[in-house]
Amino acid sequence: MADSTTLGESLRRNGVSRRGFLKFCAATASMMALPPSMIPRIAEALEKARRPSVIWLSFQECTGCTESLTRSHAPTVEGLIFDSISLDYHHTLQVASGEQAEAAREAAMHENMGKYIVVVDGSIPGPGSNPGYSTIAGISNYDMLMDTVKGAAAVVSVGTCAAFGGLPKARPNPSGAVAIQDVVKDKPIVNVPGCPPIPQVITGVLAHYLVFGKLPELDSLKRPLAFYGQSIHDRCYRRPFYDKGLFAENFNDEGARKGWCLYRLGCKGPMTYNACATLKWGLGWSWPVESGHGCLGCSEPDFWDAGGFYQALSIPTSNVTRTAAAAVAAGAVIGVAAGLANKAKKSGAAKKHQTVTVDQLGKG
Ligand code: SF4
Ligand code: F3S
């Protein structure tokens, strides 16, 4: 259950040095596009924060989102911060089972009424669907979700299934799956899509809530702008090849070996908004495009149904890239936007743009 330990006390108990903690605060400020002058404030707020109760519900999902969060090679500050956020109920990680588990969920709700955060991964069979498609402890996903969120301060939909319906909602959608935002209408919701989402983005959203006591600024799909404000294409290190018209034509040609742009091999980076190109995966080790595979668009709605993973976008895509000025306004990663502005200036990349939608993928 939530206790009175502050986050600072908890981190010290877990052996996190002051230096490591400040490094995390600096990285968090940078990720959130906040000026360095905010670092002391972030540190102070995180140090004193009482750990909010988090109830994590997993519905129609593959457990990839939880795996993403827990698969680090060594304890990271982000991991410890997350561990320290009174994870009172988590279907996969909790020790309790059966009636004990459900009692823990109810206790967390009652003890923290109006203050706890509900994190959800997975979609749910929507109202009107057969509730038997997915139940936990004999309770339908829909009933458990609605019962749990009624006393919540906010809901964080983690992963594309929770945010947009994801794979369970893909045609023919046998369970009548819907996204969390389709049924929860009276609570602040943040979508953290991705299949799975980047762990630092999840902890970044929670850190923002701890520091400022409110959810971060969101885009029109309710994604935090600090992480989803620019496209993969905007931040991709292969972008200079795109701008020069140098494309790999297959996965084994000279262009692929030289690291040229993967656009013609189906990369959906130009219409995908996520932070993979800067935060990367596996403790910053690599990311799909760096490993030689195009982006699949996994943080966008309906990406499974769009398919065409190896078909090039059919419409010239310099048009979906925001201008450098818009990128700066969106306030993504400090320094990257400035770099893009220079690149755009030099390459003339900020031309007139059309819009490419998911429906247009693979129709060329
Ligand atoms: Fe990078 Fe893909 Fe854009 Fe090419 S199309 S620059 S590989 S994101
Ligand atoms: Fe997903 Fe594309 Fe990142 S497929 S993991 S958004 S590079």
Give residues with Cβ within 8 angstroms of 224, minimum separation 6.
190, 192, 201, 204, 205, 208, 215, 216, 217, 218
Q: Specify the pLDDT at position 73.
A: 47
CATH of domain 232-360: 4.10.480.10
Class (C level, CATH) for 7-228: alpha beta
Distance 3 CA to ligand 1 centre (A): 46
Helix 18-31 to helix 39-48 angle (10° resolution) is 120
Q: Specify the pLDDT at position 38.
A: 86
Give residues with Cβ within 8 angstroms of 335, minimum separation 6.
none
What is the location of CATH 3.40.50.700 in the chain? 7-228
CA distance 42 to 22: 9
Q: Specify the pLDDT at position 187.
A: 96
Q: Give the atom of ligand 1 at the shortest distance from the alpha carbon of 272.
A: 8
Distance 56 CA to ligand 2 centre (A): 24
Mutate to test the pocket of ligand 1, among 237, 249, 263, 272 (most ligand atoms within 8 A of CB): 263
Q: Specify the pLDDT at position 263.
A: 97
Alpha carbon nearest to ligand 2 atom 1, residue: 298
Give residues with Cβ within 8 angstroms of 323, minimum separation 6.
344, 350
Q: Is the distance from the beta carbon of residue 160 to the nearest atom of ligand 2 less than 6 Å?
A: no
Mutate to test the pocket of ligand 1, among 230, 234, 235, 238 (most ligand atoms within 8 A of CB): 238
Full-model pTM: 0.80
CA 206 to chain centre: 12
What is the location of CATH 4.10.480.10 in the chain? 232-360
* Closest of 234, 260, 259, 262 to residue 318, by C-alpha: 234
A 10 A CB-CB count for 275 gives 27
Mutate to test the pocket of ligand 2, among 65, 164, 298, 300 (most ligand atoms within 8 A of CB): 298
Distance 243 CA to ligand 1 centre (A): 10
Nearest ligand by distance to the CA of 166? 2
Q: Specify the pLDDT at position 218.
A: 95
Q: Give the atom of ligand 1 at the shortest distance from the alpha carbon of 277.
A: 8
The per-residue b/e assignment along 174-211, b for 16 or more CB within 10 angstroms, e otherwise, is ebbbbbbbeebeeebbbbbbbbbbbbbbbbbbbbbbbb
Which segments of the chain have a pLDDT < 70?
1-4, 31, 71-86, 93, 95, 314-364
Mutate to test the pocket of ligand 2, among 276, 293, 313 (most ligand atoms within 8 A of CB): 276
Q: Specify the pLDDT at position 48.
A: 84
Distance 217 CA to ligand 1 centre (A): 26
Q: Is the distance from the beta carbon of residue 157 to the nearest atom of ligand 2 less than 6 Å?
A: no
